[in-house]
Amino acid sequence: MATDVTSKVLHQETGKLLDRVRRGESFRLIRHGKLDGYLVPPSTEIDPEWPEIMGEVWAAQKEAGAVQENPVLRERKARNHAAHLR
């Protein structure tokens, strides 16, 4: 659970807060009564790995089966090929 810290306290006690973060504590930064950000230890994983992000998409693609060719791209390829034949 993160401890709420105001921007004023962050400004006044940055070093102390960073020391606490280094020891594993997390903080929610509050400015004008609204959440403004987080201070979390560097060991905390913030962004998920790419396979985790794309897992559902890849599963849906496999389930959908064969992909139909884009008709616009097919037409462009045909025109480009015909232009080179002249």
Amino acid 48: pLDDT: 75
In a domain, 71, yes or no: no
Give, in order, the Cα–Cα distances in Å from 52 to each of 11, 42, 55. 36, 20, 5
pLDDT, position 65: 73
pLDDT in the model for residue 43: 78
Whether 59 is in a domain gets the answer: yes
Number of domains in the chain: 1
75 located within any domain: no
**pLDDT digit of tens for each residue in the chain (86 aa)?**
789 999 999 999 999 999 999 999 999 999 999 999 999 998 777 777 788 888 888 888 888 777 778 888 889 888 887 777 76
Predicted confidence at residue 34, as pLDDT, reads: 93
Q: Are 31 and 6 in contact (CB under 8 A)?
A: yes
Domain assignment of residue 54, yes or no: yes
In a domain, 46, yes or no: yes
Domain residue limits at 31: 1-65
pLDDT at residue 23, as a whole number: 93
Q: Is 10 contained in some domain?
A: yes
